[in-house]
Amino acid sequence: MFDLVLRRATLPDGRTGMDIAVSGGRIAAVEPNLPGAAAQEIDATGRLVTPPFVDAHFHMDSTLTYGIPRVNRSGTLLEGIALWGELKPQLVQDAIVERALAYCDWAVARGLLAIRSHVDVCDPRLLAVEALLDVKARVAPYLDLQLVAFPQDGVLRSPGAVDRLTRALDMGVDVVGGIPHFERTMADGAASVRLLCEIAAERGLPVDMHCDESDDPLSRHVETLAYETQRLGLHGRVTGSHLTSMHSMDNYYVSKLIPLMAEARLGVVANPLINITLQGRHDTYPRRRGMTRVPELMAAGLTVAFGHDCVMDPWYPLGSADMLEAAHMGLHVGQMTGVDAMRACFAAVTENPAALLHLDGYGIAPGCHADLVVLQAADPVEALRTRPARLAVLRRGRVVARTAPVTAELTLPGRPQRVDFTRPQG
Ligand SMILES: [Zn+2]
């Protein structure tokens, strides 16, 4: 007897009428019309059941601080960084923990069960590092939180940052971060990439850098990142986040760059909600979108994810932990309305970031963790279109969140009494 059977599921790969059996927190079988009883049954009624959403790029130390101590009037990246500098000395550990836990509650309700968060290590007290390590332990039963040691003010530019970064790694932070385009010179940016990749190689850790978050087509630190990955044999363990300068680069140079990135098996994270609002601010018209070249990078075989980056913080006033919002924006900005491209956008907030985070036991197959989300949608494209309710969210085979199906009631003579924005049947 199974602990739970989820019946009549449509899977992201298109299989329909599938039953998913769970035993001991893991998936025991995935078959149509699975015989046998279970302690608990959930009927998916033909709706989409997906492995959880994964956010490969977030800032949990700043989330939900919008308006503290003031709002970002211009909405620009630079005012956001200045505002974060004002806020940092005022941060209190308990408040960081409370806000992060509140965000994780939202995440679980949205079926987002794994997040890689950068944590600023340029504060001499390393308050946010302590706070998020505490949060990581507290949410572990229901959410995988991975932390990146992020030197927001530049690992070379900010005095003492190398020491603080290595201290954060000693304390248990999982990934080495960086911000080469924020160092004082291109040469310092390249030196920072080299230094940080060497630290990662020495410690056997992955790398995930904010890289070339700029409209400057000559910001080419991703080239150095690919080179150092290759030189140090870190293939498949290094991710470049943002890479917005690639949007503005010369096409000929990009034709050399992308194969170098593919050779190093770099991971790529675009943050469409943030890139579309923060980049191109010096432009008049035409105004650049700023998102990196997602379809071209995918076509070259690189693993590309969409991250949320920010929710209600100095850089972005909106958001509610819905990765489908990030994917929806990425689809539009990248003009990815082809059938395969839309499915790739869904993968960019599920299986692709799961691969970048090296999540263990992710997926819908026997032996995987029974982490599943039932959506009020028929398939991944409808999920992108309607950003639907997460009817049930399961972690290790137990329901951790539910949302009632969302329908609107109509009082129009001769018309249906309800609409739920799914395609009419028949
Ligand atoms: Zn970021």
Q: In whole angstroms, give the CA distance from residue 240 to residue 226.
A: 9
Is residue 285 domain-shared with residue 226, that is, in the same domain?
Answer: yes
* Structural domain includes residue 416: no
Q: In whole angstroms, give the CA distance from residue 144 to residue 323.
A: 15
Domain count, the chain: 2
Q: Is 119 left (phi over 0), alpha (psi -120 to 50) or beta?
A: beta
The tens digit of pLDDT for each residue in 258-300 reads 999 999 999 999 999 999 999 999 999 999 999 999 999 999 9
The proportion of the chain whose per-residue pLDDT surpasses 90, expressed as a percent, equals 95
Is residue 210 domain-shared with residue 147, that is, in the same domain?
Answer: yes
User: How far separated are the first and last CA of the chain, in Å rounded?
Assistant: 37
* Structural domain includes residue 188: yes
Q: In whole angstroms, give the CA distance from residue 135 to residue 189.
A: 31
Distance from residue 416's CA to the centre of ligand 1 (Å)? 45
Going by pLDDT thresholds of 50, 70 and 90, the confidence category of residue 333 is very high
Is residue 197 domain-shared with residue 313, that is, in the same domain?
Answer: yes
Is residue 237 domain-shared with residue 351, that is, in the same domain?
Answer: yes
Is the pTM higher than 0.85?
Answer: yes
Domain residues for the domain of 8 are 2-51+363-409
Cα pseudo-dihedral 117, 123, 129, 135, rounded to 10: -80
Is residue 41 domain-shared with residue 159, that is, in the same domain?
Answer: no
Cβ 59 vs Cβ 21: under 8 Å? no
What is residue 275's three-state secondary structure? helix
Going by pLDDT thresholds of 50, 70 and 90, the confidence category of residue 89 is confident
- Residue 426, pLDDT > 60, answer no
* Structural domain includes residue 423: no
Is residue 240 domain-shared with residue 267, that is, in the same domain?
Answer: yes
The tens digit of pLDDT for each residue in 175-210 reads 999 999 999 999 999 999 999 999 999 999 999 999
Cβ 211 vs Cβ 221: under 8 Å? yes
Distance from residue 176's CA to the centre of ligand 1 (Å)? 14
- Residue 350, pLDDT > 70, answer yes
Distance from residue 203's CA to the centre of ligand 1 (Å)? 23
Catalytic residue selected from 213, 223, 228, 325: 213
Q: In whole angstroms, give the CA distance from residue 58 to residue 39.
A: 37
Distances (CA, A) of 309 to 5, 81, 239, 278: 35, 14, 14, 12
Is residue 64 domain-shared with residue 47, that is, in the same domain?
Answer: no
Mean pLDDT, residues 79-98 taken together: 92
* Structural domain includes residue 421: no
Is residue 388 domain-shared with residue 376, that is, in the same domain?
Answer: yes
Is residue 41 domain-shared with residue 64, that is, in the same domain?
Answer: no
* Structural domain includes residue 344: yes
Going by pLDDT thresholds of 50, 70 and 90, the confidence category of residue 37 is confident
**What pLDDT was estimated at residue 222?**
98
Distances (CA, A) of 266 to 120, 275, 304, 361: 23, 20, 9, 22
Is residue 42 domain-shared with residue 119, that is, in the same domain?
Answer: no
**What pLDDT was estimated at residue 328?**
98
Q: In whole angstroms, give the CA distance from residue 182 to residue 212.
A: 9
Is residue 334 domain-shared with residue 377, that is, in the same domain?
Answer: no
The CATH code of the domain that includes 381 is: 2.30.40.10
Distance from residue 23's CA to the centre of ligand 1 (Å)? 38
**What pLDDT was estimated at residue 425?**
67
Mean pLDDT, residues 131-159 taken together: 97
* Structural domain includes residue 414: no
* 409 catalytic per annotation: no
Cα pseudo-dihedral 259, 301, 198, 350, rounded to 10: 150
Distance from residue 118's CA to the centre of ligand 1 (Å)? 7
